[in-house]
Chain A
């Protein structure tokens, strides 16, 4: 059974800092991994999708990497802004989600 873990559960950083969010999974036989953002009281918005054949994806200040052999993915956020404050979730194979990391970026 695939288990997905996100540590830490919460993170607070000052504005402008570069940061890394972590996602670990137990079964390396995956076909994709997605990173989502969720604002309070809202649905999820897809940020980046990495297919199993890819090592990373980039969108603006966001970069997601995938290392299937070690069962890990990271989401790198450059030059963080208060508007980045949200919960970030990773999902493996569309259906197995981590519990998320709640990010607060302080002005």
Chain B
């Protein structure tokens, strides 16, 4: 069955370290998204992509980067992890081009000490 996976599911790191969270989908969806979820803030968009080589900043993109070299993957990199980036991170995908259902991964819980 087609699916969207995230790895690792849990990660503990130290401030200042570079961290990469993986997102992989097997639906061949054009659109992919990264969100963070924090208590009191709901889900906030970090970055999104509408296709290979396309990336766009979301509402809370500072300190994060993404690259889209193929359809299946959109890794999220924290260049220099900060305690404020402790959160649960969700990846999602949708077929596109615009109006479509999003499918979410199970999430990655990141703790920055």
**Which residues of A line the B interface, CB within 8 A?**
4, 31-32, 34, 36, 41-46, 49, 51, 89, 91, 94-100
Asked if A46 and B101 sit within 8 Å, CB to CB, the answer is: yes
Asked if A44 and B90 sit within 8 Å, CB to CB, the answer is: yes
**A interface secondary structure, majority:** strand
Asked if B42 and A99 sit within 8 Å, CB to CB, the answer is: yes
Encode B84-104 as 1/0 by CB contact (under 8 A) with A: 000000101010001111111
**Which residues of B line the A interface, CB within 8 A?**
31, 33, 35, 40-45, 48, 58-59, 90, 92, 94, 98-107
16 CB contacts below 8 A, A to B, read A34-B101, A34-B102, A43-B106, A44-B90, A44-B104, A45-B104, A91-B102, A94-B31, A94-B100, A94-B102, A95-B45, A95-B58, A97-B35, A97-B42, A97-B44, A98-B42
A-B contact count (CB 8 A): 54
Asked if A99 and B41 sit within 8 Å, CB to CB, the answer is: yes
Q: How far is the CA of A78 from the CA of B31 in the complex (A)?
A: 33
Question: What's the least CB distance linking A50 to chain B, in Å?
Answer: 10
